[in-house]
C-alpha cells in the first residue's frame, strides 16, 4: 500500500498540503490507494503529490536532465490462450497449441504499434532534441507530426533508442508462459501473459481489437488479465507552484541542467490521484547509474551516494514550495 504523508498536518511550519507516495500498488495488484480515496479522502486530500516515476540522467557533456513524471502509461495486461488437440509428441500436429501461441507472440512483438504524441511526449521530444547527445532527433520532429511519415520515422527512432520508442507507442512484453505437463505430450492448451502498457490517449478496446487483427488466428483467444485497472488521465499541469519550484531547485544545482516533463513507462498510484484532480509529479531526485533503468532487473540498485544526494534534493523541493506563503 502507498505510504501517504500529509506534511501540512505534520508540521506547523509548512504552508502547503503535499503527500508522498511509495512504489505503485499496481505492481502488486493491490488497491490500497483506491481504498484510501474512497474511505479516507479527507486525510490524504492535498494540493500536490510527490511520487516515484521521475528520472534523472546525465548526458555526455555533463548536463543533468531532470525528467519530471507528469503523465504515465496504463497497464493493460492480457492473456493469450491457444487451444488445439492433445496428442503424443512423436506425431506433430498442425493444431499444436504451443506452436500457435509461439506464433501469436512473435507476431505481436514484431509488429510496430501505432504512434501517437500527446502534450507531454511532444514537449519531451522537443526538449530532448535540444541536447547535444540527442541532436539527431531534431530532423525527425516534423516527420513525427506528419501522419504520412510518423510511423516510419518512429520505427527508426525506436530501433535506435528503446526508451524513446516506449514514449511513442503502446508496448508489448511477453512475461509468463504456461503449457504442458510432460515433454512427450502435446497439450491441448497453452497460455501466455502479456504486459501491455498503452498510451493514455488509446482505449483498451482499441488495443484488444488491434492485437486480434495482428494475430489473426482463430485458435488464439485474446482476453484481459483480471486485476486492477488504472484510469487514463490528463497530464499534471506545468504551471503549478510545485512544478515551478522544481524547475528553480534543479536550476540551482551545480553544472548545466534542464527540467523536462516526462511520461513514464511504468504505472503508479498517481493515476488514481490525478483522476481526482490532484497534481501529481514523479520527482527526478535519483540519478540513473549509467543512464540505465534497472527497475525489476536482476541488478536493481542505486548507489549510496545517489540515495543521499537524492534525499537532500527532495528536501529542497519540498521546502521550496511548502515554506512559500
pLDDT at 268: 87
Which grid cell sits at 1?
500500500
pLDDT at 4: 41
Residue 157 CA to residue 31 CA, distance in Å, equals 36
Q: Where are the beta strands (DSSP E) in the chain?
A: 18-20, 48-51, 55-58, 64-72, 74-75, 78-83, 87-88, 171-179, 185-186, 189-198, 220-224, 257-264, 279-282
Note the pLDDT tens digit of each residue in 188-219: 999 999 999 999 999 999 999 999 999 999 99
Note the pLDDT tens digit of each residue in 226-253: 877 888 899 999 999 999 999 999 999 9
For the cut 50, the answer to whether the pLDDT of residue 1 exceeds it is no
CB atoms within 10 A of CB 96: 23
Please give the mean pLDDT across all residues of the chain: 87
When mean pLDDT is compared across 3-7, 99-103, 264-268, the lowest value belongs to 3-7
pTM for the whole thing? 0.83
- Mean pLDDT for the stretch of residues 254-265: 93
* Residue 286 or 123, more confident: 123
- Mean pLDDT for the stretch of residues 64-91: 95
316 Cβ neighbours under 8 A, 6+ residues apart: 249
Instruction: Please classify residue 321 by burial: count the beta carbons closer than 10 Å to its beta carbon, then call 0-12 exposed, 13-18 middle and 19+ buried.
Output: buried
pLDDT at 121: 94
160 three-state secondary structure: helix
State the pLDDT confidence band at 77, using cuts at 50, 70 and 90: very high
pLDDT at 79: 97
- Mean pLDDT for the stretch of residues 90-115: 96
Give residue 66's region: left, alpha or beta (phi > 0; psi -120 to 50). beta
Tell me the backbone φ, ψ of residue 200, rounded to 5 degrees.
-60, -25
pLDDT at 24: 46
* Residue 301 or 118, more confident: 118
Query: Roughly how many angstroms between the first and final C-alpha of the chain, as a whole number?
Result: 32
When mean pLDDT is compared across 169-173, 268-272, 288-292, the lowest value belongs to 288-292
pLDDT at 8: 47
As a whole-number percent, the residues of the chain with pLDDT over 90 amount to: 66
pLDDT at 278: 93
Tell me the backbone φ, ψ of residue 121, rounded to 5 degrees.
-70, -30
112 Cβ neighbours under 8 A, 6+ residues apart: 151, 154, 155, 158, 169
State the pLDDT confidence band at 88, using cuts at 50, 70 and 90: very high
pLDDT at 28: 41
Q: Please report, for the chain, how many H helices and E strands are present, in that order.
A: 12, 13
User: How far apart, in Å, are the Cα atoms of 65 and each of 236, 243, 250, 254, 301?
Assistant: 19, 15, 9, 12, 20
pLDDT at 76: 93
For the cut 80, the answer to whether the pLDDT of residue 187 exceeds it is yes
- Mean pLDDT for the stretch of residues 175-185: 95
Note the pLDDT tens digit of each residue in 300-318: 777 888 889 889 999 999 9
Note the pLDDT tens digit of each residue in 11-59: 444 556 666 665 544 444 446 888 889 888 998 898 899 998 898 988 8
As a whole-number percent, the residues of the chain with pLDDT over 70 amount to: 87
Which grid cell sits at 320?
521550496
Residue 151 CA to residue 168 CA, distance in Å, equals 10
Torsion of CA 38, 317, 118, 59, to 10 degrees: -140
For the cut 70, the answer to whether the pLDDT of residue 254 exceeds it is yes
pLDDT at 290: 62
Do 251 and 320 contact (CB within 8 A), yes or no?
no
CB atoms within 10 A of CB 252: 10
Nearest to 228 by CA among 26, 38, 24: 26
**Domains in the chain, please, with CATH?**
7-74+234-322 (3.40.630.10), 78-114+170-224 (3.30.70.360), 119-167 (no CATH)
When mean pLDDT is compared across 15-29, 119-133, 145-159, 280-294, the lowest value belongs to 15-29
Give residue 290's region: left, alpha or beta (phi > 0; psi -120 to 50). left
For the cut 50, the answer to whether the pLDDT of residue 3 exceeds it is no
Amino acid at each position: 500500500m502507498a505510504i501517504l504523508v500529509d506534511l501540512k498536518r505534520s508540521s506547523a511550519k509548512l504552508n502547503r498540503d503535499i503527500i508522498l507516495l511509495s512504489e505503485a500498488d499496481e505492481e502488486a495488484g493491490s488497491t490500497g490507494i483506491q481504498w484510501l480515496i474512497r474511505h479516507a479522502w479527507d486525510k490524504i486530500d492535498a494540493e500536490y503529490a510527490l511520487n516515484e516515476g521521475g528520472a534523472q540522467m546525465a548526458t555526455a557533456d555533463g548536463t543533468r536532465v531532470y525528467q519530471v513524471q507528469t503523465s504515465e502509461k496504463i497497464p493493460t495486461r492480457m492473456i493469450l490462450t491457444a487451444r488445439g488437440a492433445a496428442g503424443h509428441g512423436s506425431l506433430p500436429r498442425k493444431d499444436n497449441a504451443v506452436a500457435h501461441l509461439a506464433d501469436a507472440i512473435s507476431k505481436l512483438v514484431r509488429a510496430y504499434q501505432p504512434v501517437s504524441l500527446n502534450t507531454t511526449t511532444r514537449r519531451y521530444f522537443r526538449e530532448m532534441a535540444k541536447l547535444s547527445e540527442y541532436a539527431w532527433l531534431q530532423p525527425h520532429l516534423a516527420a513525427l507530426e506528419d501522419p504520412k511519415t510518423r510511423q516510419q520515422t518512429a520505427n527508426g527512432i525506436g530501433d535506435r533508442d528503446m526508451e524513446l520508442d516506449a514514449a511513442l507507442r503502446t508496448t508489448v512484453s511477453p512475461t509468463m508462459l504456461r503449457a504442458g505437463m510432460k515433454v512427450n505430450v502435446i497439450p491441448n492448451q497453452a497460455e501466455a501473459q502479456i504486459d501491455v502498457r498503452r498510451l493514455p490517449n488509446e482505449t483498451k478496446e482499441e488495443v484488444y481489437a488491434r492485437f486480434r487483427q495482428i494475430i489473426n488466428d482463430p485458435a488464439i483467444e485474446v482476453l484481459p488479465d483480471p486485476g486492477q485497472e488504472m484510469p487514463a488521465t490528463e497530464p499534471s499541469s506545468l504551471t503549478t507552484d510545485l512544478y515551478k519550484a522544481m524547475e528553480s531547485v534543479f536550476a540551482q544545482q551545480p553544472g548545466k541542467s534542464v527540467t523536462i516533463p516526462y511520461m513514464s513507462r511504468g504505472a503508479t498510484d498517481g493515476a488514481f490521484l490525478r483522476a481526482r484532480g490532484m497534481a501529481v509529479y514523479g520527482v527526478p531526485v535519483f540519478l540513473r547509474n549509467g543512464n540505465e533503468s534497472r527497475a525489476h532487473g536482476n541488478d536493481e540498485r542505486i548507489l549510496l551516494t545517489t540515495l543521499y544526494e537524492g534525499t537532500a534534493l527532495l528536501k529542497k523541493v519540498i521546502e521550496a514550495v511548502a515554506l512559500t506563503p
